[in-house]
Amino acid sequence: MRVVLDTNILVSALISPAGNPAIIYTAWKDGRFTLLTCRELRQELRATLGKPRLAPLITRSQAGRLVNQIGKLAEHVHSLPQVKRSPDPGDDFLLALSEAGDADYLVTGDKSGLLSLRRHKGTRIVSAREFVALLRVG
């Protein structure tokens, strides 16, 4: 199974170690699916983790470990197509990554944006709760 995780899922996994995003993060580390990444996702993740409002919630060590794990263990997709479909144009790169990486799922917490699309080409767009249910069935 090939999966794109939105930055909000990755950050939430660090903030709430008992929530659905943390279950997804652990499942990835345990080899239950292939995580897809790209330069844009890694840049957004670094920028988000560097925000001062997250400092009380996520240690620098946790943030660094996450970025390093993604750099080493995720599958890097280099050539993304042009996509202009998301209600938030800043999220179009996630749809492009899903398309170029032939992702089965794009997991996001973006209720008014990506989740409203439900699908992009061959990729199902699901919430963390939906994806955890799929992991439990599989």
- Interval 56-102: pLDDT, tens: 999 999 999 999 999 999 999 999 999 999 888 889 999 999 999 99
3-state DSSP assignment of residue 5:
strand
pLDDT value, residue 45: 96
CA pair distance 101, 79, nearest whole angstrom: 9
Task: Give the confidence band of 111 by pLDDT, cuts at 50, 70, 90.
Answer: confident
**Domains of the chain listed by start with CATH number:** 2-137 (3.40.50.1010)
Residue 16 has pLDDT above 80, yes or no: yes
What are 117's two structure tokens?
Answer: 């699309």
How large a percentage of the chain has pLDDT more than 70? 99
Report, in angstroms and rounded to the nearest whole number, the Rg of the chain calculated over CA atoms: 14
Query: pTM for this structure?
Result: 0.95
Per DSSP, the three-state class of 110 is coil
Q: What per-residue confidence (pLDDT) applies to 110? A: 85
